[in-house]
Amino acid sequence: MLTTEALVKELVEKNGRSRNSLMPILQGIVQKEHYLSEEALLSVAKELDLSAADVYGTASFYTFLDTVPRGKNIIRVCKTITCHMKGKDEVINALSNALKIKVGETTHDKKFTLLTANCLGWCHKGPVMLVNDEVYPDLTPQKALEIIEEYGKEAK
Amino acid sequence: MSKYLVNLKINNMPVSVEEGTTILEAARKLNFRIPTLCNHPDLTVAGNCRVCVVEVKGSRLLAAACATPVSEGMEVFTNSEKVRVSRKHIVELLLSEHNADCTKCFKNGRCELQDLASEYRIGDHVFLDLVKPESKILDISSPSIVKDDSKCIRCQRCVRTCTELQGVSALGVVNKGDHQRISTFFNKPLHEVVCTNCGQCINRCPTGALTERNYIEEVWNAIYNPSKFVVVQTAPATRIALGEDLGIAVGERVTGKMVAALKKLGFSKVLDTDFTADLTIMEEGTELLTRLKKALVDKDESVVLPMMTSCSPGWIKFQEHMYPELLDNLSTCKSPQQMFGAVAKTYYADKINIKAQDMVVVSIMPCVAKKFECERPEMRDSGYQDVDYVLTTRELAMMIKQAGIDFDKLEDEHYDSILGESTGAAVIFGATGGVMEAALRTAYEIVTGREVPFTNLNIKPVRGMEGIKEASVKIKGVKPEWDFLEGVELNVAIAHGLANARALMEKVRTGEASYHFIEIMGCPGGCLGGGGQPIPTSPEIRKKRAEAIYAEDSEMIIRKSHENPEVAEIYQQFLGEPLGHKSHDLLHTHYKPRKRY
């Protein structure tokens, strides 16, 4: 595996050093490391000659650019009103019990992080969750657990 | 390029203004005051606080006057029912997220939000109190700046100051929506990040979210302590601005009144940083000439040029963070404040027969970075902390008010002796270009035996508010011992405000320009626009303060540092010679690289 510094260098080579390159670089880091560490943001600031506070400001603005360590698979259950009325709480409780973590936490084996998200635009098929970049609509607690089980196998 | 005139009406009064003028500026022309919070004359337009909303005929939405340019035939109303109701609501909404514990706030009585609340007679809690627990973060890690997020209205004046004027960007906007905060890299405490402690953010914060760390009580305690001998020194730029906080017009000099007030407050001796400014010139001027000789004659490669001034502690910390590879360019001279402390607790203490441990040195400074500087571990060469407490010009004004002194009615008094005598060269340290001018007045005369070839010693090319100034002085008719300087064109540059300093450092780093000597002041306008000076600040205010500084210089009897009799005396009786052994121990220092990111 690449060191963070090498990863940043590679992404900078690919995306360039302009201010516009900041977002794709940050996204590239999250793809590989699941979150943006201090070390990662400092190397980005250095490579792009931006202030570290500025880079952190950008990172902290976006929900999908996490600045705390996350698991390999990030589950985001929609918490907005339609999904709420269609039973997102039951889905979250089922996931929480199965994974033995609360919302916002990461499993001990670093395989899963359980989060909530604002409206994912799937109100007609709620409740809905996102695992990494994949959308799973029409959930029931049972269905959610089956999906997670599959990810658990892959993550071995 | 000539601009078109645009005709519009504001509150039914016609006005013609240049194209591109904002409604806010056009209204000012007609003497209609529209309140603002996020707007500041030194900064770009943000338009985020919304208190300047006005009604534009034909538009459903209200417009932010600060961010809306005028257009032909526009009809603007600055106080219609809709405007008034909305503006009052906006203030109420700002207050709903603001820790309005005003009586316990350091900015009580000088807060722009408080003024607006008072103006609009905000009484009832129309909105729920929404100060979030997570916003109740108080950062007291810095010896200079206190940051209280519970008072922040997120107008971002500080962020724009830190970025646009200072090129530091220690502060940024983090998170979004109702979680938005003004913070640092990973929300680290101010003393751990690249903050230079310049305090320019304090000068522009409309509320109490950013204030100086104040040492008023500590200083009162020292004054009241009968076993302590409390000496006070005053920086050049305090005497031309203190009056602003005490009901006196901008640009009026209050040197004599300030001295009188300090005596009334109970300081044992009232002395002058200007004395050590003169001493700085002796050391720094000699250092420059020595460096020139080593570089030009001895071809000593360990000596680097250009030499850069080291009086401004914000600039020093900036350089330590941003250009550690250029630290050898900095003059090793301590700042005048620190030279004063070191000399006060040695030479002066001996002279007046006071033990150094019984002496408390207080500085009155236009600066908040000086609070950090006096706590630097390098600044203990007297065997004690050389300067104990630093108060800003603003804190001194508060003490004068607390003591019930009617400042305006005070009779002028003189500084005590010794360490009270100074020259015109010292007072101009307070303006951008001043250290350069003072150094040239002395260095030129050392080398040639003649005065600098400028009318009345006024070296005009180094004065003024241009961000980066350049000048050349041709050295002619040198004394035999300086023959290597004959015909040399001495190239100098001056920058003020750290964004300008950064631009100049880039030129130096890339070798684009070659100078012999560079003066940098961390704050816009130099110390006269320092982070510890009375609030508000603006280009016009700084211009008036600069005029006052140069007026003070022109009226001084002695205007060259090397002619200060007390400076001659200290070399004769104590220091020996500039850059001598004792000077090296007490008056010079070193710098350390710090993390840029």
What CATH number corresponds to the domain at position B350? 3.40.50.1780
Q: Find the catalytic residue in B97, B212, B283, B284.
A: B284
Structural domain for A109, as ranges: 73-154
pLDDT at site B171? 97
pLDDT tens-place string over residues B137-195: 899 999 999 999 999 999 999 999 999 999 999 999 999 988 899 999 999 999 999 99
Asked whether residue A126 falls in the same domain as residue A148, the answer is yes
B190: CATH: 3.30.70.20
Q: How far apart, in Å, are the Cα atoms of A96 and each of A86, A87, A113, A152?
A: 18, 14, 10, 14
pLDDT band for position A156 (cuts 50, 70, 90)? low
What number of other Cβ atoms are within 10 A of residue B593's Cβ? 12
Assess whether A39 and A103 both reside in one domain.
no
What pLDDT, on a 0 to 100 scale, did the predictor assign at position A9?
96
Number of domain units in chain A? 2
Per-residue pLDDT, averaged over B488-504, amounts to 97
Is A145 in the same domain as A117? yes
Active site residue B527: yes
Same domain for A16 and A52, yes or no, is yes
Confidence of residue B348 (pLDDT cuts 50, 70, 90): very high
Same domain, B227 and B285: no
Domain boundary among B156, B181, B209: B209
Annotated active-site residue B284? The verdict is yes
B462 touches chain A (CB under 8 A): no
Name the average pLDDT for chain B.
96
Question: Counting beta carbons within 10 angstroms of the beta carbon of residue A118, is it exposed (0 to 12), middle (13 to 18) or buried (19 or more)?
Answer: exposed
Fill in the amino acid letter for A32.
K
Tell me: do B317 and B430 sit in the same domain: yes
Looking at chain B, the whole-number percentage of residues with pLDDT higher than 90 is 94
**Does residue A8 lie in a domain region?**
yes
Q: Do A60 and B193 touch (CB under 8 A)?
A: no
Give me Rg for the CA atoms of chain B.
25
CB contact under 8 A, B174 and A60: yes
Phi/psi of residue B567, nearest 5 degrees: -70, -45
Interface test with A, best of B168, B169, B183, B194 (most A CBs within 10 A): B169
Ranges of H-type helices in B390-448: 393-402, 424-427, 434-448
Are B350 and B487 in the same domain? Answer: no
For B456-479, how does the pLDDT look when each residue is reduced to its tens digit (9 = 90+)?
A: 999 999 999 999 999 999 999 999
Q: Is A53's CB within 8 Å of B193's CB?
A: yes
DSSP B165: I
Mean per-residue pLDDT for B122-126? 81
Residues of chain A numbered 49-68 and touching chain B (CB < 8 Å) = 51-57, 60-61, 67
**pLDDT tens-digit map of B274-298:** 999 999 999 999 999 999 999 888 9
Respond yes or no: is residue B378 known to be catalytic. Answer: yes
Cα end-to-end span (Å), chain A: 17
CB contact under 8 A, B173 and A57: yes
The pLDDT-based confidence of B414 (bands split at 50, 70, 90) is very high
> Per-residue pLDDT tens for B499-517?
999 999 999 999 998 999 9
Query: Looking at the structure, do residues A16 and A80 belong to the same domain, yes or no?
Result: no
Q: Which residues of B touch A51 (CB under 8 A)?
A: 163, 168-170, 172, 185, 194
Chain B contacts of A40, Cβ < 8 Å? none
A149 and A121, same domain (yes or no):
yes
pLDDT-derived band at B124 (thresholds 50, 70, 90) equals confident
Position A2 scores a pLDDT of: 78
Question: Do B294 and B247 lie in a common domain?
Answer: no
Q: Is there a single domain that holds both residue B325 and residue B455?
A: yes
Say how many CB pairs under 8 Å bridge A and B.
48
pLDDT tens by residue, B222-270: 999 999 999 999 999 999 999 999 999 999 999 999 999 999 999 999 9
Q: What is the pLDDT of residue A1?
A: 65
d(CA B293, CA B307): 13
Q: Is B433 in the same domain as B568? A: yes
Picking from A39, A61, A83, the residue at the C-terminal end of a domain is A61
* CATH number for the domain that contains residue A13: 1.10.10
Inter-chain residue contact B186 with A46, CB threshold 8 Å: no
Interface test with A, best of B159, B168, B186, B510 (most A CBs within 10 A): B186
In a domain, B357, yes or no: yes
Q: Is residue A139 less than 8 Å (CB to CB) from chain B?
A: no
Antiparallel, parallel or unpaired: β B229-234 and B269-272? parallel
Contacts of A42 in chain B (CB under 8 A): 597
B287 catalytic residue (yes or no) = yes
Q: What pLDDT does B310 receive?
A: 98
Does residue B10 form part of some domain? yes
Query: What is the structure's pLDDT at B465?
Result: 97
Q: Check whether residue B173 and residue B286 sit in a common domain.
A: no
Does residue A67 belong to any structural domain of this protein? Answer: no
Q: Give A112-135 pLDDT, tens digit per residue.
A: 999 999 999 999 998 999 999 999
Contacts of B404 (CB under 8 A, 6+ apart): none
Give the tens place of pLDDT for each residue, B364-399. Answer: 999 999 999 999 999 999 999 999 999 999 999 999
Same domain, A95 and A137: yes
Domain CATH for B27: 3.10.20.740
Q: Does A103 touch chain B (CB under 8 A)?
A: no
End-to-end CA distance of chain B: 43
With beta carbons under 8 A apart, name residues in chain A contacting B596: 46
A49 and A115 part of one domain: no
Instruction: Tell me which amino acid residue A96 is.
Output: S
| B366–chain A nearest CA distance, Å | 27
In chain A, % of residues over pLDDT 70: 98
- Establish if A149 belongs to a structural domain: yes
Can you give the pLDDT at residue B2?
A: 60
Asked if B44 and B177 sit in the same domain, the reply is no
Contact B387, B340 (CB under 8 A): yes
Closest residue of B to A46, CA-based?
Answer: B597
B5-10/A129-131 β-pairing: unpaired
CATH number of the domain where residue A98 is located: 3.40.30.10
Q: Are residues B368 and B246 in the same domain?
A: yes
Write out the DSSP string of B92-107.
Answer: HHHHHTS---GGG-TT
Shared-domain flag, residues A146 and A118: yes
**Chosen domain end from B63, B79, B95:** B79
CB contact under 8 A, A57 and B163: no
Residue numbers in B near A60 (CB within 8 A):
174-176
Tell me how close the Cα of B146 comes to any Cα of chain A, in angstroms.
Answer: 18
In a domain, B87, yes or no: no
- Co-location of A91 and A122 in the same domain: yes
Count of the separate structural domains present in chain B: 4
Q: What is the pLDDT of residue B128?
A: 83
pLDDT tens track for B419-430: 999 999 999 999
User: How does pLDDT run across B186-207, given as a tens digit for each residue?
Assistant: 999 999 999 999 999 999 999 9
Q: Please indicate, yes or no, if residue B430 is contained in any of the structural domains.
A: yes
| pLDDT at site B547 | 98
Domain that holds residue B158: 125-209
Query: Is residue B253 located within the same domain as residue B374?
Result: yes
Question: Is A68 domain-assigned?
Answer: no
CA angle B197, B199, B202 (to 5 degrees): 140
Tell me if A114 is assigned to some domain: yes
Domain boundary among B209, B233, B261: B209
Residue B130 pLDDT greater than 90, yes or no: no
Looking at every residue in chain A, the average pLDDT score rounds to 94
Together in a domain, B305 and B290: yes
In this predicted structure, what is the pLDDT of residue B178?
Answer: 87
**Which residue did the predictor score with more confidence, A1 or B390?**
B390
Which segments of B257-310 are extended strands (E)?
Answer: 269-272, 307-308
Whole-number pLDDT of residue A141: 96
Return the pLDDT at B351: 96
- How high is the ipTM of this complex? 0.91
Tens digit of pLDDT for each residue in B25-73? 999 999 999 999 999 999 999 999 999 999 999 999 999 999 999 999 9
Same domain, residue pair A77 and A133:
yes
Structure confidence at residue A155 as a pLDDT band (50, 70, 90): low
Q: Which residue of A has its CA nearest to B167?
A: A51
Residue B455 has pLDDT above 80, yes or no: yes
Chain A residues touching B169 at Cβ < 8 A? 51, 53-54
B185: chain A residues, CB-CB within 8 Å: 38, 41, 51-53, 55-56
Within this chain, do residues B476 and B568 fall inside the same structural domain, yes or no? yes
Identify the pLDDT of residue B254. 98
Q: What whole-number distance in Å separates Cα of residue B498 and Cα of residue B149?
A: 25
Q: Which amino acid is located at B85 in the chain?
A: V
Token reading at B513:
């320009």
Taken as a whole, chain A contains a residue count of 156
Helix (H), strand (E) at residue B192: none
Nearest by CB to residue A56, choosing from B163, B176, B186, is B186
Tell me, what's the pLDDT at B133?
76
The reply to whether A77 and A146 lie within a common domain is yes
Give A105's contacts (C-beta < 8 A, 6+ positions apart): A113, A114
The per-residue pLDDT for A53 is 97
If one counts every other C-beta atom within 10 angstroms of the C-beta of residue B119, the result is 12
Interface contact flag, A57 B172, Cβ < 8 Å: yes
Whether B186 and A61 lie within 8 Å, measured CB to CB: no
What confidence score (pLDDT) does residue B513 get?
87
- Quick check: is A17 in a domain? yes
Note the pLDDT of residue A28.
Answer: 97
Distance, CA of A110 to chain centre: 13
Q: Give the active site residue among B311, B367, B374, B523.
A: B311
| Interface contact B184-A54, CB threshold 8 A | no
Q: Taking residues A48-75, report their average pLDDT.
A: 95
Residue A123 identity:
C
Query: Which residues from A are below 8 Å from B173, CB to CB?
Result: 57
